[in-house]
Amino acid sequence: MSPLRTLALGALLLPLAAHANDPYSYAQPDEVRVTHLDLQLKLDFPHRQLDGQATLTLDWKDPKAGTLVLDTRDLTIASVASVDAGGTASPLPYTLAPRDKQLGSKLTIQAPQRPHEVRIVYTTSPAASGLQWLPPAQTAGKRQPFMFSQSESIHARSWVPLQDSPAIRFTYDAHVSAPRDARVVMSAPNDPRHPLDGEFSFAQTHPIPSYLLAIAAGDLAVRETGPRSAVYAEPSVVGKAAHEFEDTEKMIRTAEQLYGPYRWGRYDILVLPPSFPYGGMENPNMTFATPTVLVGDKSLISLVAHELAHSWSGNLVTAASWRDIWLNEGVTTYVQGRITEALYGKRQADEEALLDIHTLQRELPSLPLNAQRLAPKPGHVDADDSLSDVAYNKGSWFLRTLEQRFGRATFDDYLKSYFNHFAFQSITTEQMLDFLKPNLIDKYPGKMSWNEVQEWVYGTGVPKDAPVPDSPQFDAIDKERTAFLAGTLPAGKLDAKGWNTQEWMYFLDGLPDAPPLARMQQLDGAWHLTGTPNAEIGMRWYVHAIAAGDKAAWPAAAEHMTRIGRLYLTMPIYAALSKTPDGLAFARQVYAKAKNGYHPLTQQAVEALLAKAAKK
């Protein structure tokens, strides 16, 4: 998943009581594991539901076991049956437990004969947490409805009954029936020339965890960007997207030169409607991406570098639990930086690394000590804590430290061997460390002690000697910002004409929490930040303008909040407005208009924020 979206999973407050194998799953993989999924789906746009049939191939681990336990959320189960080698189905008794608010409903299937396959016929809920159904009015083209999934972290269970844990990997086949004018894509190889005949088939031959199961359908056009890559988007967006992502093949080749062959075949990008709650999602073969990165100058293209990097760190080598998620996100953020540096230069890569470092430094003091660890101690650790900036930014900072200590060539060789050794496996932090010690730390003695490694992984905060990149441009911006705030440098004299997106982000991030209103008005007058089409700059600007008391910026902020459903770019503005009674009332008005265009996760997050603000 893309970086800089700490708020994305704020609604997931999960107890550590589900099962010893995975606190966020009812599955019992020590007894039986799903190894393959055969999925039959029919898209029902009018009723906002999927009619599904999931046939699970099982590997019984315990000869005494006779029960299959699956994760579900808000599924209506029509039937459960075993399937013999000849395809004959025999009903099986099952129990669907009452719904847990976070985990969903435990589906317990009695299967004393330990069948090779079990088939579940079911229907999803219109309110499925892992699906969003958009009417035509909420799409760019406004001609056809649109549907897409978001399975990470534990939302696959809302549209498929399965063992919803990153430790359990399976291959899948799928056949999807859809309206004849809709194109369907999934997290499997997609055919850009597939006719719009209403019937689509997919085969994911590599074992993946459930959170990487993905589907989307709607009015989608295709532009190929290379021999193994294409962009999918609504017709009015696809041209702009193809231009922004025209370097995709270069990115793939760059990553291959560093870390070995791309093993998934095709790498396509789906640009979703603005309601997509995240920056990007690394679904295998088909990255789901936000349209907010389409700014025209490729300044936010590192999002694609990040999702592509997941093809090695995350999709190829996967964290076995959400507690270990830094193995996905920290390693990926490091690899993203290497791809960005190779294609767009060290200046941009260092600036992005510094932005990550400063974000982490701002967040750390507010986090519980256990949440500051890359690998938290056992206890109550929520999925949203695991997916904080610690996983992304402290994790990547640790890898940059390893690179500095051991040298880039040596560390590249190590990381390539790591990906090869654990390919298509889900691993824990401890398995990673057991590989790191003999193959890097002990192999090159005197570079880094094992105590230092353990401090990075299990310690709170960040080690004092953590290396920080140099950025002369950021240093110059610091001086200009100080002079501007002091009143000795007029806003119009800022040397900002050549600033890229990252440099504007840095300038705005360094402003006081409540900057002087006059200074903000001068800045807006000189640089026309209100109404900017760049959502990264816009989010930061509106937060500061609101804090300064500039109500003239509120209408443009409302337009931004209504147009964009990405949590990271929307929630800070709601939070800024909610600090005053007038702002809270305005935020409620904006949400009432925007709600139907938001993803269920965004709705849940905004409603929780507004409710909390009302109690203050």
Active site residues: 307, 392
Strand partners, 543: none
Contact 3, 353 (CB under 8 A): no
Contact 133, 45 (CB under 8 A): yes
Sign of CA dihedral 398, 423, 276, 51: negative
Contact 246, 239 (CB under 8 A): no
Q: Which helix (H) or strand (E) holds 44?
A: strand 32-44
Sign of CA dihedral 362, 363, 368, 371: negative
> What is the rounded CA–CA span in Å between residue 104 and residue 96?
10
DSSP count for the chain of H helices, then E strands? 19, 21
Give 504-553 as a 3 state SS string. HHHHHHCCCCCCCHHHHHHHHHHHCCCCCCCHHHHHHHHHHHHHHCCHHH
**Residue 153 preceded by cis peptide, ω within 30:** yes
DSSP 421-456: HTTTEEE-HHHHHHHHIIIIITTSTTSS-HHHHHHH
Give Rg (Cα) of the chain.
24
> What is the rounded CA–CA span in Å between residue 556 and residue 534?
13
